Amino acid sequence: MTADLQPLPERVVILLFGNGAIKRTNDYAWQMARRGVRVQAVVADGQGWRRAPFLHPSVEVYSLAKPENRQPLLWLYEALVERAPAAVLRRLEGRLPGAGFARRAHRKAAGFCRRNVFWKVYRPFRHQALRAIALRRLGRLDLGAADHVVCPDPAAVPLAWSIARRHPRPVVTRALHYGPYKPYPVVNPIEPWDPDAAEAPHREPYTPL
Amino acid sequence: MRDEAPARPRVLYLAFYFPPSRASGVFRARATANYFAEAGWDVTVARVPQWFLTDVVGSTDEGLAATVDPRIATVSPALDDFAWETDIREFGRFRGNFPFLASRWHRWRQRFKFPDRYASWGESAVEEGLRLHVERPFDLVIATGNPFSAFGAAYELWRRTGVPYIVDYRDSWTLDLFTNEDAFPKGDKAWRWERRILDNAAEALFVNEALRSWHAERYPKAAERMHVVLNGWDPDVLPEIPASTADESRPLSFAYIGTLTANQPAGAMLDGFRHMAETGRHPGARLDLYGHLGFFAKYESRMRGELGLEEEQEQVHHHGPVSKSEIGEAYAASDVLVFLVGGSKYVTSGKIFEYMATGKPIVSVHEPGSAAEELLRDYPLWFNPGALEPAAVAAAMADAGDAARKADPELAESARTYGAGFTRYRALEAFERRARTIAADRSPR
């Protein structure tokens, strides 16, 4: 059966607003890419993405980091609570007694505020804000011509739902399930992606959207 | 009115997993329904909707469905698909725009029903049961869990109609079989529901004595109504396996036949087998794996990777699922059967009865103290490593291989005779008689 099946000319777009599904996404992307499916991903890697592993090198990744971080209230919070005090204290360090201690104390306090104030307030609105940002910028991906739009991340559901309403063609799903593609032949002998491995292939930086 | 009751007692059997499902407990449900139908009961089975088996579980066994007695009526009460719906186009405006709020709302509503993710099915089963009861009254309700929403539905039907109910614990609810600890924190709703259900049940059935004792200790008020109904093997599924000696000219086949799940110590089996191969005993021996990898199709690739079955291996062969008609061939092609089961003293596994019925050497690969040991102790061709260390498993496998080569006909015959006594129907005989008495004695409400 496998011999009769041609490589897939399909295109899949994966939406990721959080980093919780990256490992599953990498497994899925690898399985799809080696069968000739073009895999693209839209990631909101501006906030809460610091420890996230990279996505598989076969995936074209488009980043929403800049537009997300340019949101006025978010930018203002980071400038006033984190960047400006950190910059002032860094310059004072070595010139003013106690500045080093103050810098460390500020870093801890800023971390506390980020966890307990920033995320508490921002998280409930983030997926809505990102939907608006993404919808303004997704034109270049021509989602109407994609075959699958997958959102393994629940935060990306509002965006996926809006895409489903605007574009009748793609299958819009939450399932990272490559089972139906298993019978197709492997046309790209690429390796699974372990970003922690020393010999891991180079990953191109994500393309700003 | 009771004098005019029809001669055939009527039973509603709440079995979420029922053929064409191929879930682990489905053979017990199938045998119970078939046995009651053959014993003259009018049986109606309430099972899961078909979409759940095809879209969520991802596999069915139509061959198994064909073995269900045609006199059995089947209904499929509705199941809320919130947790399993993946098609975003099917999401409503509220869920599409506010997925977290929708999810929280869904969970909040569930809290007021029954502490089980299949509560909506239980609720629909009550509605369906009441509708059928009005058409023609039931004399008995039997519920098998998991899922335990079936128990909740049976309780609710009793509360509203007075029809006695029996709960059949294929699995445990509040006891974690793999850690032997409580599955729910103190004060959880599940405890209150289990007490309520057991206090009012006409009977509670368990698959082994260890589970019965645990429940009897927890719920002493219901202890005298608790019974053991062992699992067993199904003669219509397992044909007679011809007695055979492992021919010296061919390498031995060590086989596991059944679904491999993440809860089983499959790694210990593979390590033990490889260790035996390294020691040079039974050169060329193969480990043949027959059956699905995981109950859900979506986990298959993950398990394949975890077990190192992605690449072709010289000595380990995964043959894939075996249909009902082929299972006899799989047993006949095997020289030694590897019995793999997760958990410890509360776990028996229905597979062991089928293994024993073949009369072949059996190697245990499970934690010491498994409930299956009680049954295997008197089986003459049992090889117990006593631990999961590769060296111990390898030694037991090698000894079992020796026994397969020698194939003492008397020993094989006594093994087969011992295993033959554990058919499912034999296990159900006494239960059916008690059920008939319960149905006859019920007071109408």
pLDDT digits (tens, 9 = 90+) for B83-106: 889 999 999 999 999 999 999 998
What is the model's pLDDT at position B298?
61
Distance CA B405, CA B410 (A): 14
Which of B395, B372, B396 shows the shortest CA–CA distance to B384? B396
> Which residues pair with residue A14 across a beta bridge?
A41, A150
Q: Is residue B247 part of a domain?
A: no
For the segment B111-129, the average pLDDT, to the nearest whole number, is: 90
Mutate to test the interface with B, among A167, A173, A178, A191 (most CBs of B within 10 A): A173
Query: Which range of residues forms the domain containing residue A41?
Result: 2-68+130-208
CB contact, 8 Å: A174 with chain B? yes
Residues 6 or more apart whose CB falls under 8 angstroms from that of B213 comprise none
Give B181 to chain A, closest Cα distance, Å. 30
Q: Is residue B242 part of a domain?
A: no
Q: Is residue B389 part of a domain?
A: yes
Distance CA B333, CA B42 (A): 40
pLDDT band at B1 (very low <50, low <70, confident <90, very high): very low
Nearest-CB residue to A164 (from B89, B298, B301): B89
CB contact, 8 Å: A29 with chain B? no
Please state the ipTM of this predicted complex: 0.84
Residues B198 and B272 in one domain: no
Residues A93 and A143 in one domain: no
Instruction: Look up the CATH number of the domain holding residue A40.
Output: 3.40.50
Distance CA B44, CA B69 (A): 11
Residues B340 and B208 in one domain: no
Q: Which of A163-167, B59-63, B111-115 has the highest mean pLDDT?
A: A163-167
Residues A81 and A142 in one domain: no
Residues B402 and B260 in one domain: yes
Residues 6 or more apart whose CB falls under 8 angstroms from that of A65 comprise A44, A45, A46, A49, A206, A208
Instruction: Look up the CATH number of the domain holding residue B100.
Output: 3.40.50.2000
In chain B, whose CA is at the least distance from the CA of A160? B88
Residues B204 and B261 in one domain: no
What is the model's pLDDT at position A3?
46
pLDDT digits (tens, 9 = 90+) for A6-24: 556 689 999 999 888 888 8
Residues B223 and B167 in one domain: yes
> Which of residues A122, A151, A185 is at a domain's end?
A122
What is the model's pLDDT at position B272?
92
Residues B294 and B333 in one domain: yes
Backbone angles phi, psi at B8, to 5 degrees: -85, 115
Residue B28 has pLDDT above 60, yes or no: yes
Residues B223 and B96 in one domain: yes
Residues A150 and A179 in one domain: yes
For the segment B228-239, the average pLDDT, to the nearest whole number, is: 88
What ranges in A4-118 are assigned the alpha helix state H? 22-33, 65-69, 72-77, 84-92, 99-113
pLDDT band at A209 (very low <50, low <70, confident <90, very high): confident
Residues 6 or more apart whose CB falls under 8 angstroms from that of B144 comprise B13, B14, B15, B16, B25, B28, B29, B32, B150, B167, B168, B170
CA within 13 Å, CB half, A117: 11
Least confident of A60-69, A87-96, B243-252, B417-426: B243-252
Residues A78 and A55 in one domain: no
Residue that has been written with the tokens 């975890």 in this structure: B306
Residue B239 has pLDDT above 50, yes or no: yes
What is the model's pLDDT at position A159?
95
- Could you tell me what percent of chain A has a pLDDT over 70? 91
Residues A53 and A154 in one domain: yes
Residues B295 and B433 in one domain: no
Residue that has been written with the tokens 């499916």 in this structure: A37
Least confident of B1-5, B255-259, B384-388: B1-5
pTM of the model as a whole: 0.79
Residues A19 and A77 in one domain: no
In this structure, chain A runs to a length of: 209
Tell if the CB–CB gap between B88 and A175 is shorter than 8 Å: no
Tell if the CB–CB gap between A155 and B99 is shorter than 8 Å: yes
Q: Is residue B35 part of a domain?
A: yes
| C-beta of residue B272 within 8 angstroms of C-beta of residue B393 | yes
pLDDT band at B351 (very low <50, low <70, confident <90, very high): confident
Residues A77 and A51 in one domain: no
Distance CA B202, CA B431 (A): 12
pLDDT band at B324 (very low <50, low <70, confident <90, very high): low
**E strands along B47-182, which residues?**
73-75, 140-145, 165-169, 175-176, 181-182
Which secondary-structure segment (H or E) carries B228?
strand B226-228
What is the model's pLDDT at position B385?
92
Q: Is residue B188 part of a domain?
A: yes
Residues B188 and B226 in one domain: yes
Sheet holding B73-75, edge to edge: B73-75, B42-46, B10-15, B140-145, B165-169, B203-206, B226-228
> Which residues pair with residue A16 across a beta bridge?
A43
pLDDT band at B244 (very low <50, low <70, confident <90, very high): low
Residues A63 and A136 in one domain: yes
What is the model's pLDDT at position B432?
96
Number of domains present in the structure of chain B = 2
Tell if the CB–CB gap between B97 and A161 is shorter than 8 Å: yes
Residues B330 and B435 in one domain: no
Number of domains present in the structure of chain A = 2
A 94-153 residues with CB below 8 A of B? 124, 127, 149, 151
What is the model's pLDDT at position B6?
54
What is the model's pLDDT at position B25?
83
Residues B308 and B195 in one domain: no
- Using an 8 Å CB-CB cutoff, list chain B residues near A162: 96
Which secondary-structure segment (H or E) carries B13?
strand B10-15
Task: Determine the straight-line distance between the first and last CA of chain B, rounded to whole angstroms.
Answer: 12
> Which residues pair with residue A38 across a beta bridge?
A11
Q: Is residue B239 part of a domain?
A: no
CB pairs under 8 A between A and B: 47
pLDDT band at A158 (very low <50, low <70, confident <90, very high): very high
Residues A134 and A118 in one domain: no
Distance CA B327, CA B290 (A): 9
Query: Which range of residues forms the domain containing residue B164?
Result: 2-232+424-441
Residues A169 and A196 in one domain: yes
| A186-198 burial: b if 16+ Cβ within 10 Å, else e | eeeeeeebebeee
Measure the CA angle with vertex B237, ends B13 and B255; round to 5°: 120
What is the model's pLDDT at position A185?
83
- Using an 8 Å CB-CB cutoff, list chain A residues near B58: 179
Q: Is residue B47 part of a domain?
A: yes
Residues A183 and A138 in one domain: yes
pLDDT digits (tens, 9 = 90+) for A20-62: 888 889 888 888 888 888 999 999 998 988 778 888 888 999 9
Token pair belonging to B411: 């020993």
Residues A109 and A6 in one domain: no
Q: Is residue B241 part of a domain?
A: no
Residues B171 and B258 in one domain: no
pLDDT band at B218 (very low <50, low <70, confident <90, very high): very high
